[in-house]
């Protein structure tokens, strides 16, 4: 299982070298075989097929891992969480050195970090003011746009750019930062699962080692992975160490991408006494807001980056993504207003002092924000999976989570880089149409999923304090 998954990941890496955008100055572009494959339509389609086969193998082994840990007993049960974490490391390892896969955002991160290092504000200038290898692979769409990200990724990019100007090395550095989010999830998810009595190993498998995570979180190296890791950690730290530390982590999550601040709703809910009246609730929400916003703005002030990210928030809205229902209907602002109303309602009316309810509240506000968002990319689904996976879901919902994590991982290669590459689109669609039924719809695959979602987990019941640490 682990070895086959590793092979799948290697195939994704190999195929990714053929189909991904690379800087022309990189040494790989001097290799005749790679140039021939990248330059021919047949070669590019071969690369796409290799990637999809690799993702299919990863998906199959991930589902096997989920079944194993769901049904584990005795010593296997005790080792299940360790196995999941080990699998996540082994399957991620070949992708660490890969170029940005299925998206060119990683190349933009490298250029934005270089801007910060040179003392040029990424909140005032786009990568287009730079010259040389660091901008060779940046998507032309974003060359003249400012960054919408908070100071955390820019601080990391500034540090990396002080060590090297090689764009590929810079990209690897950003991926390592993203993987810090995976480590935070590996720590936080079992703790969140203990709040609801969910199998911690199965929840961790769904979050850490899925095709969705490997394709978009690790391969795509999106900042969203670090953001959601900080969000999950904020909720756990708030419950175990108090609301102030939880709010600091919530502020750090917002300092990666602003939606990370949604975790602060859960920070307030989980640290209030049971059935808290409105006035104490408002006071706690205000305190959490002051600490988290202070953390966000303080980072900008201390580093000299400022708060220019506020102006950059409009940048993602310059594109229309088919996954955004609100954008497709032409009512982006309506979706934003409804999502804001839901967040406010949860903050003011959701049950307090109950860890499982706080978890559900965060899942609600994050899920609504994604569904009604003016811009939705596939990797935005990473925001909500850690909170859904640690809830006690109905069997149908759990099966849907497994199927969604499989499908949305498999379709990762069908990104904008295939625009107008009609033969590649047709080939990719055909392969996905073959892989999805094999993984999810055959009698054997349906039985595997049924065994996962129907497995019972009887946890050790731990006493929960009436007043979480720091609630007073």
What pLDDT was estimated at residue 417? 56
* CB within 8 Å of 327: residues ≥ 6 apart: 320, 321, 374, 375, 376
Q: Tokens for 328?
A: 């497709």
- CA dist 76 → 80, 81, 85 (Å): 6, 9, 14
How would residue 310 be classed by pLDDT, with cut points 50, 70 and 90?
confident
CA triple 364-368-373, angle to 5 deg: 155
Q: Which of 183-197, 199-213, 401-415 has the lowest mean pLDDT?
A: 401-415
Is there a contact between 183 and 229 (Cβ–Cβ < 8 Å)? yes
What confidence category does residue 470 fall into, taking pLDDT thresholds of 50, 70 and 90? very low
Which is higher by pLDDT, 429 or 191?
191
Nearest 5°: CA angle at 112, between 91 and 121? 150
How many Å apart are CA 136 and CA 42, to the nearest integer? 25
Whether 353 contacts 272, CB under 8 Å = yes
- The count of C-alpha atoms lying within 13 angstroms of the C-alpha of 173, restricted to the half-sphere facing its C-beta, is 24
pLDDT tier at 120, thresholds 50, 70, 90: very high
Average pLDDT over residues 281-307: 93
Each residue of 10-59: pLDDT tens digit? 999 999 999 888 999 888 888 889 988 888 888 888 999 999 999 999 99
Mean of pLDDT values over 411-418:
74
Q: Is the pLDDT of residue 420 over 60?
A: no
User: In terms of pLDDT, which residue wins out, 76 or 203?
Assistant: 203
Q: List CB contacts of 420: < 8 A, sequence separation 6 or more.
A: none
CB 134 within 8 A of CB 191: no
Instruction: Write down the number of H helices and E strands in the chain.
Output: 21, 0
CB neighbourhood size of 266 (10 A): 34
- pLDDT for the residue numbered 356: 94
Query: How do residues 362-413 score in pLDDT, each as one tens digit?
Result: 999 999 999 998 888 899 999 999 999 999 999 999 999 999 999 999 988 8
User: 405 near 210, Cβ under 8 Å?
Assistant: yes
pLDDT in tens, 84-118: 999 999 999 999 999 999 989 999 999 999 999 99
Q: How far from 223 is each of 38, 95, 209, 256, CA to CA, in Å?
A: 28, 16, 18, 7
d(CA 201, CA 175): 25
Q: What pLDDT digit, counting tens, does each position of 330-371 carry?
A: 888 898 899 999 999 999 999 999 999 999 999 999 999 999
Indicate the average pLDDT of the chain.
90
CB-CB contact of 302 with 270 (8 Å): no
């Amino acid at each position: 299982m682990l070895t086959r998954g590793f092979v799948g990941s290697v195939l994704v890496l190999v195929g990714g070298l053929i189909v991904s955008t690379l800087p022309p100055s990189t040494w790989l572009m001097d290799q005749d075989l790679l140039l021939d494959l990248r330059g021919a339509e047949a070669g590019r389609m071969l690369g796409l097929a290799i990637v999809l086969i690799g993702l299919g193998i990863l998906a199959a082994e991930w589902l096997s891992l989920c079944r194993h840990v769901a049904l584990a007993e005795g010593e296997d049960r005790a080792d299940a969480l360790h196995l999941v974490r080990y699998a996540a490391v082994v399957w991620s390892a070949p992708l660490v050195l890969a170029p940005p896969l299925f998206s060119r955002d990683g190349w933009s991160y490298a250029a934005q970090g270089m801007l910060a290092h040179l003392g040029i504000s990424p909140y005032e200038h786009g990568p287009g003011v730079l010259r040389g290898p660091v901008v060779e692979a940046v998507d032309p769409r974003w060359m003249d746009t400012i960054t919408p990200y908070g100071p955390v990724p820019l601080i990391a990019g500034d540090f990396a750019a002080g060590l090297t100007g090689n764009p590929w090395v810079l990209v690897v550095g950003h991926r390592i930062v993203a993987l810090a989010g995976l480590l935070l999830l590996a720590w936080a998810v079992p703790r969140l699962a203990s709040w609801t009595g969910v199998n911690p190993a199965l929840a961790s498998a769904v979050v850490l080692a899925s095709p969705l995570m490997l394709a978009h979180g690790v391969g795509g190296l999106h900042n969203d992975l670090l953001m959601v890791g900080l969000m999950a950690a904020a909720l756990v730290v708030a419950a175990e160490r108090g609301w102030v530390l939880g709010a600091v982590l919530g502020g750090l999550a917002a300092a990666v991408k602003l939606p990370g601040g949604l975790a602060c709703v859960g920070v307030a809910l989980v640290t209030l006494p049971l059935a808290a009246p409105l006035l104490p609730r408002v006071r706690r929400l205000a305190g959490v807001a002051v600490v988290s916003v202070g953390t966000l703005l303080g980072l900008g002030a201390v580093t000299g980056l400022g708060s220019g990210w506020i102006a950059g928030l409009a940048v993602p809205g310059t594109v229309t993504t088919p996954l955004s229902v609100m954008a497709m209907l032409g009512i982006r602002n309506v979706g934003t207003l409804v999502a804001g109303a839901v967040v406010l309602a949860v903050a003011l009316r959701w049950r307090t002092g109950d860890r499982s309810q706080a978890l559900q509240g965060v899942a609600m506000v994050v899920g609504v924000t994604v569904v009604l968002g003016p811009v939705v990319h596939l990797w935005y689904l990473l925001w909500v999976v850690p909170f859904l996976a640690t809830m006690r879901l109905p069997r149908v919902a759990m099966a849907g989570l497994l199927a969604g994590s499989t499908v949305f991982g498999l379709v990762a290669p069908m990104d904008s880089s295939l625009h107008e590459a009609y033969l590649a689109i047709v080939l990719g669609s055909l392969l996905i149409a073959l892989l999805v039924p094999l993984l999810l719809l055959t009698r054997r695959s349906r039985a595997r999923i049924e065994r996962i979602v129907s497995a019972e987990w009887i946890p050790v019941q731990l006493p929960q304090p009436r007043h979480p640490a720091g609630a007073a």
